[in-house]
């Protein structure tokens, strides 16, 4: 087999979910695949040909099934890979796995097959992450996005940005290294134009990645307010189920209740909480403390009031202590509930500093307005065109790249030092390189010198 860059040990694991099924698959990767196959089946199957036969144990047959052999580097991990498909019973699969271990494999760590695929250059980091996203996708849209990332759509766009940064760096570093050429690269407008272009493209990738991350991770919304505002009723209206207990007794909800729904494919994590009040009841006190810890974490906080109790539209006027305790009041939406008993029309009102949704959790009027509002505050759009799956880690890296490019632009505008601009560009490239896991200083130097023919 082709020498693996990575490991000399052979790993094995159950590849199908644990439990009973028609077929169960054990996957083995590493240099011992051939010998394991020979011991089990009498000989190793020809690469990519299914071999049907008995799987032999130490004493007699374990099972009969199909073996597939993929010769490295033409395999998922880039190493020799053996797949054993047997009957999907947990005892049989255990016996087969144990047999593989006795024949020289060890049990694989979580994600180790993908890790080897990455280390053997079968996948970049973003693609390896996309495999996990694909398997874990909670909606069709999320699965489609993950597949696009796995096929390299995200990586290609990031690499496109990296290429453009490299070209820009070559240009800037030449200006620094050869001032005697008397070409003031930095002042001629070319660099500024290129930089603006890259920033624009980065912004587009960031927007698509943010959509992908949103589709994957979704949005958390906490419903908070005084007892009996109708919080649990809203949870039930959103989930269209009698999830939470609703009564006219204050303090009905004590624990935190979580439900997960989708809005056009965007996962929405709805959190119902205990009504906030000072109470001598020890259990309710714990509920209130838990409510606060959810309020502090959520992407969006719905402050719910019974519309009959106040006309105010400003949360500060309704409940200053609540707003003051909230770290970031821009996360707040005021929900005026029970409009079926007041004179208010249901709907969304964006005319005030804090958005206001008027609805009735009981009749359902206005609940759709709330859903639209939640999608809008996250900038979610239902089109999946040109989207890929992404994670917060990627958004983070894109933000750092954007920050570095912004600094670079400020250097240019202020006629700052070329060296500082060069450093900003390098930082941006490094941040992007973290997405695909490809960053290496040696690659960059090779590229610069290779195309500039310095010293000629």
Q: Which residues are annotated as a binding site for (6S)-5-formyl-5,6,7,8-tetrahydrofolate?
A: 27, 83, 122, 456
Is there binding between residue 155 and K ion (CB under 5 A)?
no
341 is in the binding site of which of ligand GTP, K ion, Mg ion, none (Cβ under 5 to 8 A by kind)? ligand GTP
- Name residues contacting K ion, limited to 414-433 (CB under 5 A): none
Is there binding between residue 120 and Mg ion (CB under 5 A)?
no
Which lies closer to K ion via its Cβ, residue 252 or residue 279? Answer: 252
* Cα(170)–Cα(154) distance, integer angstroms: 25
Do 382 and 369 touch, CB atoms closer than 8 A? no
Is there binding between residue 253 and Mg ion (CB under 5 A)?
yes
Q: Per DSSP, which regions of 39-156 are E strands?
A: 51-57, 60-70, 81-88, 105-107
398 is in the binding site of which of ligand GTP, Mg ion, K ion, none (Cβ under 5 to 8 A by kind)? none
Do 149 and 142 touch, CB atoms closer than 8 A? no
Cα–Cα distances (Å) from 102 to 10, 39, 98, 134, 146, in that order, read: 12, 11, 6, 33, 37
Is there binding between residue 334 and ligand GTP (CB under 6 A)?
no
Is there binding between residue 228 and ligand GTP (CB under 6 A)?
yes
Tokens 């707040």, residue? 332
CA angle 430, 434, 437 (to 5 degrees): 120
Least spacing, CB of residue 276 vs K ion, in Å = 13
| Nearest residue to ligand GTP, by Cβ distance, number only | 275
Do 334 and 319 touch, CB atoms closer than 8 A? no
Which lies closer to ligand GTP via its Cβ, residue 96 or residue 271? Answer: 271
Quick one: which of 29, 85, 220, 360 contacts ligand GTP (CB under 6 A)?
360
Per-residue x/- marks for K ion, 371-410, CB under 5 A? Answer: ----------------------------------------
Burial class (CB in 10 A: 0-12, 13-18, 19+), 387: buried
Secondary structure percentages of the chain, helix, strand, coil, to 5: 50, 20, 35
Is there binding between residue 273 and Mg ion (CB under 5 A)?
no
Do 30 and 80 touch, CB atoms closer than 8 A? yes
* Cα(400)–Cα(431) distance, integer angstroms: 6
Per-residue x/- marks for K ion, 221-260, CB under 5 A? Answer: -------x-----------------------x--------
Q: Which residues are annotated as a binding site?
A: 27, 83, 122, 228-233, 247-253, 272-275, 456
204 is in the binding site of which of K ion, Mg ion, ligand GTP, none (Cβ under 5 to 8 A by kind)? none
CA 89 to mean position of chain CA atoms: 33
- Residue ranges binding ligand GTP (CB under 6 A): 227-233, 246-248, 250-253, 274-275, 337-338, 340-341, 360-362
């Amino acid at each position: 087999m082709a020498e693996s860059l990575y490991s000399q040990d052979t790993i094995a694991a159950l590849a199908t979910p644990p439990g009973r099924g028609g077929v169960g698959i054990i996957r083995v990767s590493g240099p011992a695949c051939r010998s394991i196959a020979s011991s089990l089946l009498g000989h190793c199957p020809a690469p990519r040909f299914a071999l049907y036969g008995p799987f032999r144990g130490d004493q007699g047959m374990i099972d009969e099934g199909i073996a597939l052999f993929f010769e490295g580097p033409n395999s998922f991990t880039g190493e020799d890979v053996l797949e054993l498909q047997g009957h999907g019973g947990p005892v049989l699969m255990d016996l087969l796995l144990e047999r593989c271990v006795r024949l020289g494999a060890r049990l694989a760590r979580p994600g180790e097959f993908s890790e080897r695929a990455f280390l053997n250059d079968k996948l970049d980091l973003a693609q390896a992450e996309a495999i996990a996203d694909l398997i874990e996708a909670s909606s069709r849209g999320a699965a489609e996005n993950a597949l696009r990332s796995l096929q390299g759509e995200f990586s290609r766009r990031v690499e496109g940005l990296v290429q453009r940064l490299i070209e820009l760096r070559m240009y800037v570093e030449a200006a620094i290294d050869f001032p005697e050429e008397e070409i003031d690269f930095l002042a001629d407008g070319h660099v500024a134009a290129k930089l603006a272009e890259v920033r624009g493209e980065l912004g587009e990738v960031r927007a698509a990645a943010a959509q992908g991350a949103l589709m994957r991770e979704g949005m958390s919304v906490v419903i908070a307010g005084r007892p009996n505002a109708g919080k649990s009723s809203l949870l039930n209206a959103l989930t269209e189920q009698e999830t939470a207990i609703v009564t006219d007794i204050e303090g009905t909800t004590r624990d935190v209740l979580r439900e997960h729904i989708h809005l056009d494919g965007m996962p929405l994590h709805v959190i119902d909480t205990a009504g906030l009040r000072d109470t001598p009841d020890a259990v309710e006190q714990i509920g209130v403390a838990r409510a606060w810890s959810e309020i502090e974490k959520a992407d969006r906080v719905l402050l719910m009031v019974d519309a009959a109790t106040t006309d105010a539209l400003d949360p500060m006027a309704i409940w200053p202590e609540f707003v003051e305790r909230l770290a970031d009041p821009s996360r707040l939406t005021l929900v005026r509930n029970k409009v079926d008993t007041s004179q208010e029309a249901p709907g969304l009102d964006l005319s005030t500093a804090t958005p206001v949704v008027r609805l009735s959790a009981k009749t359902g009027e206005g609940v759709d307005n709330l859903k639209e509002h939640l999608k809008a505050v996250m900038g979610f759009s239902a089109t999946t065109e040109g989207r890929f799956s992404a994670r917060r880690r990627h958004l983070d890296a894109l933000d750092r790249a954007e920050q570095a490019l912004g600094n670079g632009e400020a250097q240019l505008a202020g006629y700052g030092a070329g060296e500082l601009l060069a450093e900003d560009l390098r930082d941006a490239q490094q941040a992007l390189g973290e997405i695909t896991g490809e960053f290496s200083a040696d690659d960059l130097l090779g590229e610069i010198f290779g195309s500039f023919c310095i010293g000629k």
